[in-house]
Amino acid sequence: MSDLVWLIPGLPFVGAVILIFGGTNLPRRLVPVVGAGSVGLSALMTLFIGFEFLTATPTAQSYQQVVWNWIEASGFSVAFAFHLDVLSLVFIFVITFVGFLIHLYSAEFMASDEGYARFFAYLNLFVGFMLILVMADNLLLMYLGWEGVGLCSYLLIGFWYLDEKNGYAARKAFIITRVGDTAMVIGLFILFKTFGTLNIAGIQEQAPQLWVVGSSQATLIALLLLGGAVGKSAQLPLQTWLPDAMAGPSPVSALIHAATMVTAGVYIIARTHVIFELAPIALFTVGVIGALTLLIAGFSALTQYDLKRVLAYSTISQIGYMFLALGVGAWSSAIFHFMIHAFFKALLFLGAGAVIAAVHHEHDMFKMGGLRKKLPLVYWTFLIGAASLAALPFVTAGFYSKDQILWLSWASEKGNNWLFLAALIGAFITTVYTFRMVFLTFFGEVKTQVTRVPGLAINISLVVLAILSTIGGFIEIPHSMGHVQMVTDFLSPVLPVTSIRPGIESSEWIIQLAAAILSIGGLLLAYFLYMKRPSLHFKIKNSIPHLHSFWLSGWRFDSLYDWLVVRPFVYVANINKNDPFNGPYNGVVRAANFFHRILSFTQSGILRWYLIGVVIGAILILTLGIWL
């Protein structure tokens, strides 16, 4: 069975190929069957293979499969090979299952779109590349997946290409991530020069022997890899593309810009954790970036009008949490939160998509309201997702994953109070903007009438995700209440268990209490501001207009980059448009023509003139001869 591993990414590609070549000729009903079907199949494959992998060979750390030898050039050798271990298994699981649900959703959601087949082709392509990314056994192949998903993200953001600004959003997303990727590629160069291989396992073995902890080279490489991660996962300072990426259809936002692709950064850091552990500075940087990002994005999310933009900023901030977890060495918690986040954020985006479709593509929350009657199912599932995002205590999965991060950011050896504080504040803000969103959208008086009620496919996927994002949390329960550690144990073969500062386990419940109180408090605040005294938040807004617009614009990062990079580049490009290097050559030509004119003036056609010429020549020659 497990020698069919290659089928897991293979099937979506097959689907994509069929859809591309079938194109418009394919009967419309067949399109979702192929699209969703292929992904569903690979989800099943994942189940079987995962089961076999876990049961049949309990001792085995990992399973490799070389499909073919990709590049083999005088010492540089890279295979097109897959690597299966528990870490990749988690990601594969999430990608295929959430991916399948979202395909299912799209089957209905996009049904009326002219680019139906194209959409599913892109989506399958994406799933395929994403699977390659997480299954690659060497960094080059991972980079292939890495760029592949970037490409698909570009295509899907700009899916509605008729509107130019979608195109620009797509382009922005792509180029910004490319900046990160370039850093990562340079990292690969150094890795190859150091280890003579790009094979992840190989690097993980050699690194500890080669480097002592804190060696400069390890730090450099780690930082470069971090650059790539930051770009893909929309972390500081490359986070600006994600909010604009909402130009894509909602399923795309759900799949790519919430559940899977944006967490690739988390994956690569977890994957190369050996290097990061050898580079404490880099690891600390990860944590700091996470902390800063989750705050910045949180504040921006507070001020957004656009439903999807709120979710986008919240995604940024949640990934910030994951980075924070990685930064404090809480590897498994990061992965855990990734999984839970995949569930509830996908759910939220799908819900938002349904809402927006229902109110004929109105994005502004302030123009919505009172939808809880009209769209009950969407409302309830959305509420569950929101609760999970806000980490309401005990019942939601989000609580357990985020709580673990909070706890470890304080308790872990690598953690410290500041990071913890940031996480805490972040948690509070999260709750506030989450329920701001909920209240504005579903409560209050009705502002728009509903035109389209979601059908079966959408409902199924919403419900399933809702369930997942509730029970998903119970696989990992902290010491203080019953101590389940499925995820940690599960991942322990790959990811080291976080080492806690000695003698503080007892105080864990305090943290949990704080977290719980904060989230409840946030909920109450949101209720107070947006339900009880709706006028109040306008007052607040008007009292701090500058700060508000500053947050609304995502801390003005866009205009900053515009001034720093874009304008100079475009300016230089345009002044050089006509290729200054032509100048010298034209100069030569002009000189030649000039001399031509001078000389042809001497050809006056007058006989005596010519005679004088001869005489002058004679004099010159004689003088030359005598002088030499």
Return the residues of window 21-40 that contact another protein according to CB under 8 A. Answer: 23-24
Site for another protein in 132-151 (CB under 8 A): 140, 143-144, 146-148, 151
Q: Are 324 and 337 in contact (CB under 8 A)?
A: no
CB 114 to another protein: min, Å: 9
Distance from CA of residue 335 to its chain's centroid?
A: 15
> Smallest distance, Å, CB 221 to another protein?
13
**Segment near another protein (CB under 8 A); pick from 92-100, 177-185, 348-356, 459-467:** 177-185
- The answer to whether 161 contacts another protein (rule: CB under 8 A) is yes
- Give 139 or 465: the residue with its C-beta nearer to another protein: 139
Nearest approach, Cβ of residue 227 and another protein (Å): 12
- Residue 445 C-alpha from the chain's centroid: 36
Residue of the chain from 64, 171, 237, 383 that contacts another protein (CB under 8 A): 171
Positions in 298-327 near another protein (CB under 8 A): none
Q: Which is nearer to another protein, 502 or 573 (CB)?
A: 573
CB of 80 to another protein, least distance (A): 8
Task: Supply the minimum distance, in Å, between the C-beta of residue 130 and another protein.
Answer: 14
Could you say whether residue 505 binds another protein (CB under 8 A)? no
Between 55 and 74, name the residue whose CB sits nearer to another protein: 74
3-state SS, residue 234: coil
Query: According to CB under 8 A, which residues from 72 to 131 bind another protein?
Result: 72-76, 80, 118
Binding of another protein by 44 (CB under 8 A): no
Does 174 sit near another protein (CB under 8 A)?
Answer: yes
For residues 297 and 314, is the Cβ–Cβ distance under 8 A? yes
* CA–CA distance, 419 with 452 (Å, rounded to integer): 45
Region for residue 91 given its phi and psi (left: phi exceeds 0; alpha: psi -120 to 50; beta: otherwise):
alpha
Sequence-distant (≥ 6) Cβ neighbours of residue 213 within 8 angstroms: 277, 278, 279, 280
* Total residues in contact with another protein, by rule CB under 8 A: 87
- Residue 175 sits in the site that holds another protein (CB under 8 A): yes
Stretch of residues binding another protein (CB under 8 A), selected from 49-57, 102-110, 167-175, 329-337: 167-175
Give the count of alpha carbons within 13 A of 60, CB side only.
15
> Minimal distance in Å, beta carbon 204 to another protein?
20
The answer to the question of residue 474 lying near another protein (CB under 8 A) is: no
Question: In which region does residue 592 sit, left (phi positive, over 0), alpha (psi from -120 to 50) or beta (all else)?
Answer: alpha
Give least dist CB 567 to another protein, A. 13
Task: Quote the CA–CA distance of 266 and 233 in Å, as a whole number.
Answer: 7
Tokens in use for 569? 């580049």
Q: Is 455 in the site for another protein (CB under 8 A)?
A: no
Interface pick for another protein out of 162, 212, 543, 545 (rule CB under 8 A)? 162
Nearest-approach distance from CB 187 to another protein, in angstroms: 11
**Residue 502 interacts with another protein (CB under 8 A)?**
no
* 90: nearest Cα among 54, 38, 126: 54
Min dist. Cβ of residue 468 to another protein (A): 32
Report the alpha-carbon distance of residue 311 to residue 347 in Å, rounded. Answer: 11
Question: From the CB of 73, what's the least distance to another protein, in Å?
Answer: 4
Instruction: For Cα atoms 287, 340, 249, give the angle at the middle one, nearest 5 degrees.
Output: 100
Q: State in Å, rounded, how far the first CA of the chain is from the last one.
A: 96
Find the farthest-apart pair of alpha carbons in the chain and give their distance in angstroms, rounded: 119
Tell me how far apart the alpha carbons of residues 522 and 541 are, in angstroms, rounded to a whole number: 18
Residues 546-605 within binding reach of another protein (CB under 8 A): 569-570, 572-574, 576-577, 579, 581-582, 584-585, 592-593, 595-597, 599-600, 602-605
Restricted to residues 255-284, the positions that interact with another protein (CB under 8 A) are none
| Residue 480: burial class (beta carbons within 10 Å; 0-12, 13-18, 19+) | middle
In the complex, the smallest distance separating the C-beta of residue 27 from another protein, rounded to whole angstroms, is: 18
Q: Determine the interface stretch with another protein among 82-90, 497-505, 525-533, 619-627 (rule: CB under 8 A).
A: 619-627
Query: Between residues 539 and 596, which has the closer beta carbon with respect to another protein?
Result: 596
Task: List the one residue from 185, 255, 297, 422 that touches another protein (CB under 8 A).
Answer: 185
Q: What's the chain's length in residues?
A: 628
Question: C-beta of 150: minimal distance to another protein in Å?
Answer: 9
Report CA Rg, the chain: 30
Residue among 145 and 327 whose Cβ is closer to another protein? 145
Q: What are phi and psi of 162, to 5 degrees?
A: -60, -30
Q: What is the 3-state secondary structure (H, E, C) of 296-328?
A: HHHHHHHHCCEHHHHHHHHHHHHHHHHHHHHHC
Q: Which among 357, 539, 541, 365 has a CA at the least distance from the CA of 447?
A: 365
Residue 220 near another protein by CB under 8 A = no
